[in-house]
Amino acid sequence: METTSKERVSYYVYFLGSNAILCLVASFAMLFYTDYVGISVSIIGTLFVLARIWDALSAPIFGVIIDRANLKGGLFKPWTNLASIILPILTVLIFLVPNNASLTAKVIYIAVTYLAWEMCYTISDAPGFGLATLMTKNTHERDLLMSRGRTMVFLGFMVISSSSVAVANQISWPILALIVAIAGLILMNFTRFNVKERYSNKAEKVTLKQIMTYPLQNKQLLFYLMSFMMLSMTNLQGIVVSYFALYNLKNPIYISILMFISLGVQLLTALILPPIIKRFGKWKVNVVSLIGLFTTGLSLFVIGYSNPVVVCVFAVLFGLFSSAPQLMVPMFTADCVEYGAFKKGVRASGTAFATQTFAGKLGGAAASGIVAYALAFAGYIPNVPQTGQVLTWIFALYAVVPGVGALITAGLFAWLYKIKEKDVEGWLASAKKNLQQADSAKQGVADKTISVPSLKKPQNSHGV
């Protein structure tokens, strides 16, 4: 391997810190705003949608900035270093809504801090995954880095989701946010000191126009991100599980139980995913997992949630089938980068990973809107027993919508995405061969240039 064990661990814990922060905000900010601050679900839903759409639209612009900035510290590390400081600070501000302010002031405060947090998370996420492509050119090592990095997503979510509501009820949400932010600050900064960018894109002459049109030129990236966005916009469980536990299962303890089970299974799946990918390939693993997710969601909705034990069993299945597609997102994006480099001669990795973040955030914006507007339409009222109609809607959002979304995602992916591991290995081998030939040619020119001049003085026409 090109990377050291210390370097790999530092890379992994960066994602542990950033995703502990992500879990706190993504899973509980909406519940905090509606049930603790007292803002209506329709207002919060609208704010979330608008903030995430704006953030999603700005993500590709940020990708262009990455590819064009040519910063002294490297292509990606300056951005991860910046995010490791700013993201924890903004996380605390998210949960510091002033109690005595007017409704208008609260809404403005929430809009500003939430939008700033979303944009800062983009700065942490896209460069974080892009960093692996410059740490090593070994495809299996790169996939291992990204797989273990995504594993930290589940571990971070599992730690925070299993305890947040209970702890927040004891010490308050702002104090909990401060604790998580400090932990995130420490963990994310390991990359600052221990991770090295071994390769550089600086030698590649990529025009601004090429970068701006890159997602349209790279059809495989476009096709993959279409399927990923569909999965993101219907992946509602992380948002709605709190409501499902509180009102359908009638016990807040199930927030921790369901998320701990699902994320625990995802974590275990992540540990065994690399050899499975090596045996069957990412394409097959992705399609089978998505079909399994559809079957699980539909089956749970038919059986019902009257028995919490059954719900917990299905949480295991949800975790099993949802983990692989999420873990492999940066792997597919990295493969699409190699596709673009081979087919079009453009390696805009910053743009590619920022576009991945764009698709995820746009899907996340739609997911937040779906949950908020569906609950408002059904007649949801915070902190009171819900009607049968509201309970049915919550259950459908938890089980049916993610399953149907997974089936549509599987169809889009199987129909449009064509890259296999052997293709990527061939492209990388060809690129390595071309680089070696270019180095040999340069060396040959240098050898011809360096010659010993004659010491004999040339004669003129007079023989002098």
- Which residues have C-beta within 8 Å of that of residue 44, sequence separation ≥ 6? 30, 33, 34, 110, 372
What's the fold here for domain 5-191+209-426? Growth Hormone; Chain: A; (1.20.1250)
Q: Which two tokens stand for residue 209?
A: 């126009």
Q: Which of 320, 318, 323 is nearest to 401 (CA)?
A: 318
Half-sphere exposure of 87 (CA within 13 A, CB side): 33
CA distance 191 to 16: 12
Q: Say which DSSP state 72 is in.
A: T
User: How far is residue 112's CA from residue 37's CA, in Å, rounded to a whole number?
Assistant: 16
Nearest to 263 by CA among 158, 398, 402: 158
- Separation CA 50–CA 305 (nearest Å): 33
Neighbours of 97 (CB within 10 A): 21
Other C-beta atoms closer than 10 Å to the C-beta of 170 total: 9
Distance, in Å, from the CA atom of 354 to the CA atom of 59, rounded to the nearest integer, reads: 5
3-state secondary structure 13-56: HHHHHHHHHHHHHHHHHHHHHHHHHCCCHHHHHHHHHHHHHHHH
Q: Annotate 409-431 with three-state secondary structure.
A: HHHHHHHHCCCCHHHHHHHHHHH
What's the distance, CA 381 to chain centroid? 32
The per-residue DSSP string of 235-295 comes to --HHHHHHHIIIIIS--THHHHHHHHHHHHHHHHHHHHHHHHHHHH-HHHHHHHHHHHHHH
Residues 6+ apart with CB under 8 A from 458: none
Distance CA 12, CA 261 (A): 22
For residues 93 and 177, give the distance between their C-alpha atoms in angstroms, rounded to a whole number: 9
The torsion defined by the Cα of 4, 7, 8 and 9, in degrees rounded to 10, comes to 120
Tell me which residue of 141, 149, 421 sits closest to 279, measured CA to CA. Answer: 421
pLDDT at 451: 47
Backbone angles phi, psi at 360, to 5 degrees: -65, -40
List all residues 6 or more positions away from 171 whose beta carbon is below 8 Å from its beta carbon: none
* Largest Cα–Cα separation, the chain: 114
Q: What is the pTM of this model?
A: 0.69
224 within 8 A of 355, measured Cβ to Cβ: no
Q: Which of 52, 24, 64, 279 is nearest to 161 (CA)?
A: 24
From first to last of its 464 residues, the chain has per-residue pLDDT tens of 778 888 888 988 898 899 889 888 887 888 889 888 888 888 888 888 888 778 777 776 777 777 777 777 788 888 999 999 999 999 999 999 998 889 999 999 999 999 899 888 888 887 887 788 788 877 778 777 877 777 777 677 777 766 666 676 677 888 889 999 999 999 999 988 888 887 765 545 555 566 567 778 888 999 998 999 899 888 888 788 888 998 999 988 888 888 888 778 877 887 888 889 888 989 999 999 999 999 999 999 999 999 999 999 999 999 889 888 988 888 898 888 888 888 877 777 777 877 787 788 788 878 888 888 899 899 988 878 889 999 999 999 999 999 999 999 999 999 999 888 788 777 777 766 665 555 565 555 555 554 444 434 444 444 43
- Other beta carbons within 10 angstroms of residue 223's beta carbon come to 18
